[in-house]
Every structure is written in C-alpha cells, then in structure tokens.
Amino acid sequence: MISRLFAAAARATLATCVVATTLSAAGPAFAAEKPDLRLMITASDTKVALGDSVDFTFTVGNIGKVAVGSALLKATITGAQSLSIIHQPSGQPNDCTLSGTDLTCTKLVLGAFSDDSDSDFANVVVRATASSSSTTRIEAEGTADPKNDLDEADESNNTTNLNVTVFRLPDLRAKITDAPEYVHGSPSVTFTVQVDNLGGGTDHIDLDFRTTSGLTYDSVDFVDNVKHGFKCDMHNPFAGTNYVSCTGGSLGDDESVTVKIGAEVALRGLTADHRTVTLQVDPDHNITESHESNNKAEFTYYYR
C-alpha cells in the first residue's frame, strides 16, 4: 500500500516536470536524447515537538527519455537525535544505507520517463526523531548524481533541501501559593494562585477556581496588574457552585501569571469542618501539552 501511495504521488509530480521540460526544450531536432534526474524531498510534517518523529521521503526520478542503469543518491539529515530507514526503494539491486547523518543509495536503476510504469523513480523514507531537549531544526539535503557521472539534459534539478522546525510543547502547571489554613464564618479571605508555563508558548489558556460550598467570591486581582490577556469573571449563582473563571490568556516560554482571588467565608453551620478549593488550568483540555498531570492543584482549609 505504501509503495502504491508513493507511486501515485511521484507519478503526478514527475509528469508535471516532464511536460515542463518538453515544452521548454528548444534544441535542434537532431539533438541526442539524455536522461534527466530530479531529486525531491518531502516531509510528513513541517514542524514537530521535542522528541517526536518526522518522515523524510527522498524521491529520485528520471524525467528524461533515456534510462539510467546506475544512479547515485547522497543525502544528509542533521539536527535529529536519531535516524532510521523505514522504507527502501522497491525493485532496486541494493538497499540504501545510513552512516551517522549520511544517506547513500547506489546503483539505482531508473527507466526512461513513462506514464505507464513506476520504473522511472525510486523512493527511500528516513524517519528522524527530534531531540528531547533542543529545538534545533532538522535539515535534510541531497544530490542525485553528485559526482556528475551522467550526462543529463538538465543538471540544475539534482540538488534540493528541506527543513523541519522543532518546537517545545507547552506545559501548564497550576499552583495555590497562598491560602488560609483556618477560617471563621463571614470574614474575607484571599487565595493566591499561580499558573506557570514550563514549556513553549501557548494561548487561549483558561483556568477555573472553585469550591463545592462555603465561599462567595468578591474580587479578582492580578499581581502587578500583569494579566497576560486573561479576562476573569466571578460566578455566584443563587443555586449551584460558586467559582471564578478566567479565559483567553497567553503565556510565552517559561512565563507565569499570578492571581489573588478574594472571597467571603460562609458560616459553617452543621456542615463538615473543612472545605477544599481547586484550581485547574486548561479544564477542557483544549491545549496539547508535554505533561497533563500538573494542571490541577487543591488546598483544604478548616473552620475553627
């Protein structure tokens, strides 16, 4: 199935190339026919997160009218933590090899361009795994017939390159940094909460702060008035759970936001002697993160 997909994709591109070459050829009618190697590099994605993988497909095609019995491909892939060949060219006498960052394919047999055959191109696919700590981009480049052993109709399309960006996923951490351990009924209390982004920048961040009962929220203030785009609302419905919601925040690499949330404490009555408040960042899981386990923080306070 993979070979058929490669064949279809390569066939469409090579057909376009050979038409363009034919239309632009203005040589005399008696000029000798020649092969014409063309290297293409495609990638399964344009950017990957730290530690993720991307597949580079190197396609050597012959868009000329003369077959090639022994073509050479030399390529390099740099910036990756590891490399592996996951698909070898079909119907070729030799497998391609990897040595460090160097990819080599020897003695490629490529027929003359034909709409009715797949013999005029060869594909090799290399999987590159990004570093788990560095955002150095992954760079692939290669050349067909690097030693100029073949006399071709066009030498300008033998070399190409492609880069893939490596980025850090965000990693949002919720913390309750200050809160009253003991409370009395009716006085006001303040909870200080913090959201840290331990990873790469992200936006459209939401957070939710609530307790099942016992608090009526009356203020929300950002420390040093640094809001990072967050807009907060207090919800104290007649029936249901009181809570504070903040939406639309943005945090760059390793940035934080700190919020002070004020509330009035309800009388305990005959209820339990403690309450638990919960801070959750990205409560609807809209943001893809490197870690999801640190999005929630809890604190329990007690009535005297």
Q: What does the alpha-carbon distance between residue 229 and residue 169 come to, in Å, rounded to a whole number?
A: 20
CATH number at residue 228: 2.60.40.1530
* Residue 146 shares a structural domain with residue 11: yes
Residue 131 structural domain: 2-18+32-167
Tell me whether residue 192 is in a domain: yes
Among 105, 139, 167, where does a domain finish? Answer: 167
Tell me what pLDDT residue 24 has.
40
Tell me what pLDDT residue 272 has.
85
* Residue 134 shares a structural domain with residue 271: no
Tell me what pLDDT residue 86 has.
98
Tell me whether residue 150 is in a domain: yes
Tell me what pLDDT residue 11 has.
52
Q: Quote the tokens at residue 111.
A: 């027929």
Q: In the chain, how many domains are there?
A: 2
* Residue 111 shares a structural domain with residue 178: no
Tell me whether residue 194 is in a domain: yes
Among 149, 167, 185, where does a domain finish? Answer: 167
* Residue 96 shares a structural domain with residue 38: yes
* Residue 130 shares a structural domain with residue 274: no
E strand or H helix at 125: strand 121-130
* Residue 183 shares a structural domain with residue 212: yes
* Residue 44 shares a structural domain with residue 138: yes
Among 124, 142, 167, where does a domain finish? Answer: 167
**Angle at the Cα of 84 from the Cα atoms of 82 and 85, rounded to 5 degrees:** 160
Tell me what pLDDT residue 42 has.
98
* Residue 153 shares a structural domain with residue 7: yes
Tell me what pLDDT residue 21 has.
43
Tell me whether residue 36 is in a domain: yes
CB 113 within 8 A of CB 125: no
* Residue 51 shares a structural domain with residue 193: no
Query: Cα dihedral angle (91, 92, 94, 97), rounded to 10 degrees?
Result: -90
Question: In tens digits, what is the pLDDT along the chain, a chain of 304 residues?
Answer: 444 444 555 555 544 444 444 434 444 444 579 999 999 999 999 999 999 999 999 999 999 999 999 999 999 999 999 999 999 999 999 999 999 999 999 999 999 998 887 889 999 999 999 999 999 999 999 999 999 999 999 999 999 999 999 999 999 999 999 999 998 766 899 999 999 999 999 999 999 999 988 899 999 999 999 999 999 999 999 888 999 999 999 999 999 999 999 999 987 777 888 999 999 999 999 999 999 999 999 999 998 8
CATH number at residue 7: 2.60.40.10
* Residue 136 shares a structural domain with residue 177: no
* Residue 51 shares a structural domain with residue 108: yes
Q: What does the alpha-carbon distance between residue 206 and residue 240 come to, in Å, rounded to a whole number?
A: 21
Nearest to 68 by CA among 121, 30, 7: 121
Tell me what pLDDT residue 1 has.
45
β-bridge partners, 269: none
Between the two ends of the chain, the Cα-to-Cα distance in Å is 70
* Residue 78 shares a structural domain with residue 193: no
